[in-house]
Structure 1
Amino acid sequence: MEKRLQKLINWQREHEIDLCFIQSKENIFYLTNFYSDPHERLMGLFLFKNSEPLFVCPKMEAGQAKEAGWNFDIICYGDHENPWDLIKEDLNKRKLHSIQKVAIEKEITSFSRVESLQQVVNHAEIVSVETILNEHRLIKDENELTSLKQAAELADFGVQVGMEALKNGVTEMEVLAMIEFELKKKGIREMSFSTMVLFGEKSGQPHGNPGLKRLSEGDIVLFDLGVVLDGYCSDITRTFVYKTYNEEQKKIYDTVLQANLAALAASKAGTRIGDLDQIARTIIADAGYGDYFPHRIGHGLGISVHEYPSMSHNNDGRLKEGMVYTIEPGIYIPSIGGVRIEDEVLITSTGFETLTKFSKEFTVVK
């Protein structure tokens, strides 16, 4: 924890930033090892060039923050108190009267919070801290990789549960409930996003909503799910057909699988990120389905299920050892259904490793 804090403070000093204000629960977790959702209440980390860090949180969270390992100054406040008054008082005690430049998470900090901060720091110049934090979080250490690999194993397990739950007439929500129940029995409290179980033509909606649709023979079945383990997310998509299939379904599946495998084969340190998207997109377009692949090839993965970088075709960044991201090409045809095959990928010194291991062979569930 302290190494991560010091690395950010070193950047802060290098860029002559007097104060960093960080409030996203993901970045706070990364820097403090404390994860909590304060809802509308203020939870913030204040870093200074030449003074010890300060953590601000509701009183109900203070004990857990200390248990997580926070050993620096802490301000805890009750719901009847204005935390910004306490923050201003603390800055005065530190004799921080001439704050000229402040770094914040511009993408997620609300305007009202910025106004409150400006009143405390006398309308200092505001810059962004997100780019550097994204870069710091990009390369996973061994502890992070351990959590990510275990989370991926549980995602594989979730797909297995879902596949085994398929039977005539079962609803999407019934299968979804079985998946999450079995994962909770293994200690998982939180899914990394709303689990998707989609049958038939509903699988043709890339972000469809499960409901009471019942499973019928010949349906495509799409599972997209992930868990949160030790603060780290997993994300897998697998697609099956139930009982019977037609040649168009098989062709779509084979095309998506070919795109998935080709993008994986190109995954190695130094590869341009956008090339992965283009490789997969070209295969899908050449098969005649270019108009039915509406999203990027993938996204970064870690504390957030969608984090830096965006794996889109116009990303000129390069893959680096220690990066974790998804490869998830798809084809979605409203009248037929959709196929998506998604893997989690780790860039290694020799190429890549897929953290999700569930079979991608075309499978007819009997």
Structure 2
Amino acid sequence: MYKKRIQYVQNYLKQEKIDFAFIQGKANLFYLTGFRCEPHERLVSLIVAPTAEPVLVAPHMERSLILAAGWQGDIIGYSDTDNPWEFITTYLHNNKVGTEKMAIEPSLLSYERSQALLRLGENTLLQNIEETLLHSRLIKSQEEKAILQEAAKRADFGVEVGVSAIKAGRTEIEIIAMIEFELKKKGVTEMSFNTLVLTGANSANPHGKPGMNEVKPGDFVLFDLGVVYEGYCSDITRTVAFDHVSDKQQEIYATVLKAQLQAIESSVIGESLGQIDEAARSVITDAGYGDYFPHRIGHGLGTEVHEWPSLNATNTMQLQEGMVYTIEPGIYVPHVGGVRIEDDIFVEKDGPKCLTNYPKELQIIK
């Protein structure tokens, strides 16, 4: 699997006449090598040339983890007292790899490292390989689908724990602690992003900051969470109510649910991604809440929690079998609260499949 992915990169380099690719993004490294880590300030990178064998540059302390991840290629190891760029220079020279044109991930490459790359040669040009890598990750295999399904199941469980933890006077932070404690007991070591539990007026902030806000009767309680399972991310949002709801809250919830179901129903092969956004947005706008839906309908999901494709109103890309993304419409009314409902969708030949399955009907927790 990893060999085939690296060959994809090598073919691109040959086609574009690029000497080598310098890949250091966490998600891209995992996608190409199976190794996932947080290197902090230390350099961890994959060097891929069109013909030479690829090499992983990493601190010596990571070697056993790299091998355990299944990497079978060469490793350039270094200690904290070494300069890894000297080893990279030697590798390039020994393998007769040029330095005139290098492929990089611009949004992930620091200025310091870009300068180190430019010092490897004279009149060196840096070219963007980021979109090529994102395109490579766009269509998921059945093996990837199975992993994403497991990640989604754990996200479902996280919401289940959170809903059961709702209690008058309990704070957002307390509920988050209970969710993540139970997930860790299930073996989850990494969340896809910082878990959100937002209650009352705070739920009207799409990406609100959880704090010491206490759950009160009549509140919406919004959960947004995901886990990383075998390198792949899940992402789910559910909103419930505590004790009772007003007619206005019921209307808001019903509108969001209708919009979400409409967008999922529109997720058929050949449809443009912008039209999926429009399918949900039209429902919310027609109900009079268009100004309270400030974000796109969804985003791609895989080795990163946000990747291609972007399901925004202007995206004309057509839906393809194997794409995975979220559908997450929301309405956020200041001083009233917010509702978002989000599922992870895998596009199959015969239609969309929801990987997340926690119930979506309005629940009023007593």
TM-score (norm 1): 0.98
* Alignment map for 1:88-107 (pairs within 5 Å): 88-96=89-97, 98-107=98-107
Percent of aligned pairs with the same residue?
A: 50
Deviations 1:173-210 (A, max 9, x none): 11111111111110001111111111111100100111
Deviations 1:248-295 (A, max 9, x none): 000000110111011000001111001111111111111111111111
Moved more, 221-230 or 63-72: 63-72
Specify the alignment match of 2:217 in structure 1: 217
Q: Measure how far apart 1:123 and its partner are.
A: 3.5
Task: Verify the 8 A CA contact 2:99 2:120 in the aligned structure 1.
Answer: no
Letter of the 1:361 partner, please give it.
Answer: E
Specify the alignment match of 2:228 in structure 1: 228
Q: Measure how far apart 1:324 and its partner are.
A: 0.5
* Alignment map for 1:149-298 (pairs within 5 Å): 149-298=149-298
State the alpha-carbon separation in 2 of the partners of residues 303 and 206 from structure 1.
Answer: 23
Q: Measure how far apart 1:100 and its partner are.
A: 2.5
Moved more, 187-196 or 71-80: 71-80
Moved more, 279-288 or 242-251: 279-288
Specify the alignment match of 1:147 in structure 2: 147
State the alpha-carbon separation in 2 of the partners of residues 201 and 140 from structure 1.
Answer: 38
Q: CA RMSD in A?
A: 1.0
State the alpha-carbon separation in 2 of the partners of residues 82 and 207 from structure 1.
Answer: 41
Deviations 1:24-64 (A, max 9, x none): 11100000001111011111111111211111011111221
Gaps of 5+ in 1: none
Q: Measure how far apart 1:216 and its partner are.
A: 1.1
Letter of the 1:315 partner, please give it.
Answer: N
Letter of the 1:115 partner, please give it.
Answer: Q
Q: Measure how far apart 1:121 and its partner are.
A: 3.2
Letter of the 1:87 partner, please give it.
Answer: I
Gaps of 5+ in 2: none
Specify the alignment match of 2:53 in structure 1: 52
Q: Measure how far apart 1:141 and its partner are.
A: 1.3
Moved more, 338-347 or 133-142: 133-142
State the alpha-carbon separation in 1 of the partners of residues 158 and 121 from structure 2.
Answer: 48
State the alpha-carbon separation in 1 of the partners of residues 217 and 70 from structure 2.
Answer: 53
- Secondary structure (helix, strand or coil) at the match of 1:271 reads coil
Letter of the 1:250 partner, please give it.
Answer: Q
Specify the alignment match of 1:348 in structure 2: 348
TM-score (norm 2): 0.98
